[in-house]
Structure 1
Amino acid sequence: DGPSARAVAAIAVRHGLAVGYGYPERDTERHGVLYNSAQLIGADGAPLAHYRKTHLFGDFELRWFTAGDQAVVQTEIDGITVGMMICYDVEFPENVRAHALAGTDLLLVPTALMHPAEIVPLSVVPVRAFENQLYIAYANRTGPEGAFEFVGLSALAGPDGTARARAGRGEDLVIGDVDPDFLAASRAENPYLRDRRPGLYGPLV
């Protein structure tokens, strides 16, 4: 609820849009504890959902951040169940499946993905959307910072396993539709969740 959150809320109200964004969160109750977090602000400027990244990537994140412990965070916008995760989280199939089982329709994934991991937005994210029968909005950074080269390629992946909208490697405004009717039809045709056999998967946990 600091200055940045209030600034984002003002943008949301001004444009009549919900806004999801990532930021470093300081734990106000535990001194020195930081989370890699994301927040979703509604079109009325009120916070709708808050998520702390559960899977930290590499020495840099492990040095500075504490992992969150809540895999599924959801809210609802216009009848759509919206879930949140951050970057590396989406690369774990169990993580996205947990959202699918909890009824997430649209998964928001703010991201800072670097070269040479282009396989994630180009292949992994559409496959995750298909195998879990949901939409994934994967919003990545672009351009260089220090030794890093962020690759862009943001996408809205659909339950049919295609990129319903796709950005390039530079700054882009990408607009795509989350269609409830298309989602329902796709889920009826691809009943992965119904056909699961959880009794066989014990070794995974």
Structure 2
Amino acid sequence: MKVAIYQGQGKLAQVHANLEIIRQAAFSAVKQGAELILFPEMFLTGYNIGEAVFDLAEPTDGPAAQKASAIAREANIALLYGYPEKFETHTYNSAILIDQYGSTLASYRKTHLYGNFENRCFQPGDSLMLAKLNGLTIGILICYDVEFPEAVRALTMAGADFIAVPTALMKPYCQIANHVVPARAYENEIYVAYVNRCGVEGRLEYCGLSCIIGPDGSEIIRAGSQEALLIADIDKLKIEEMRKKNPVLGDRRPEVYDKLVKVFSGS
């Protein structure tokens, strides 16, 4: 499967303008053969929006999602983007995956919240999830989630071939994109797509450096610090080949790790 990643700044607190960016990028990606396009964390609204998040949050099936579904159908491409989700009295930092027919396959809520803004404005999600798209099993994490190796390993052991990570990584933490993300791909022998913002929002300057990393830890594509639309092939056979050469997952000793985990958790 050809997967596109869009690295961009978007328009702060301008949902309609950001949907238009999604539309244009989707059609451009299709022309290059992509079947799925990924956008950054909170791309629908902008990330650094403060208390405005409560006014801009929408349900999973809200007006913005309906427009995004129409874009997916019209362009004939699946898409994933970050957005603030409103559910009952709570607001979540979420990412929605919509297939090429306009159907919602998954809406994942960020489980590890980062910093004062997120902990003040969002409720953490309480579950990981997988979705199937065109023969690919996709796990979804958001930004800070990927810094927890347990989350990536759990998705891998549940069958993920590919993990999509919409993110809003800002300076001075660019080492996450350069070192941590490739390590997550290598240690789990899967593909990881890390899709970052670029530019400046208020006091935040984003790193860019979006990438897709292969199951051997190598960079397949890597953006710089500017707007970019990049495309890579995701080949499940590469995963099988890597795991035959280096069967690290099969050589795990969970019964040994479990003893120590129980000691430190008090169980």
Q: 1:59 aligns with which of 85, 105, 116?
A: 116
Question: Could you tell me which residue of structure 2 aligns to residue 130 of structure 1?
Answer: 186
Q: CA offset at residue 24 of structure 1?
A: 0.5
Q: CA deviation at 1:134?
A: 0.6
| Amino acid aligned to 2:123 | T
Number of residue pairs aligned between Structure 1 and Structure 2:
201
Residue in 1 that maps onto 2:141: 85
Q: Counterpart amino acid of 1:114?
A: M
5+ residue gaps in structure 2? 1-60
Q: Which has the higher contact order (CA 8 A, sep 6+)?
A: 2
* Displacement of 1:191: 1.2
Cα distance in 1 between the residues matched to 2:182 and 2:91? 31
Report the counterpart of residue 29 of structure 2 in structure 1. Answer: none
1:148 to 181, 186, 204: 204
Shift of 1:75: 1.1
Partner of 1:8: 68
Where structure 1 has 5 or more consecutive residues not aligned to the other structure, the ranges are none
1:45 alignment counterpart: 102
- Relative to the length of structure 2, the TM-score reads 0.74
Q: CA RMSD in A?
A: 1.0
Q: 2:86 matched to which residue of 1?
A: 26
Runs of 4+ in 1 over 4 A off after TM superposition: none
Matches within 5 A, 1:147-186: 147-186=203-242
Give the 3-state SS of the residue equivalent to 1:186 in structure 2.
Answer: helix
Corresponding letter in the other structure for 1:63: R
- Give 2:172's aligned amino acid: P
Secondary structure at the aligned position of 2:187 is classed as helix
Q: Secondary structure at the match of 1:194?
A: coil
What's the offset of the Cα at 1:193?
A: 1.2
Asked if 1:120 is matched to 2:176, the reply is yes
Deviation string 1:36-81 (CA, Å, 9 cap, x unpaired) is: 011100000000111000000011110111110002x111112111
Distance 1:14 1:184 in 2: 34
CA distance, structure 1, for counterparts of residue 256 and residue 186 of structure 2? 22
Amino acid of the structure 2 residue aligned with 1:3: P
2-structure distance, mates of 1:81, 1:91: 21
Percent identity for Structure 1 against Structure 2: 50
How far apart, in 2, do the equivalents of 1:105 and 1:120 lie? 21
Q: Within 2, Cα distance between the matches of 1:15 and 1:104?
A: 26
Deviation at 1:182, TM superposition (A): 1.2
In the TM superposition, what is the alpha-carbon distance from 1:192 to its structure 2 partner? 1.4
Equivalent AA in structure 2 for residue 21 of structure 1:
Y
- Secondary structure in 1 aligned to 2:228? coil
How far apart are 1:197 and its partner, in Å? 0.5
Q: SS of the counterpart of 1:142?
A: coil
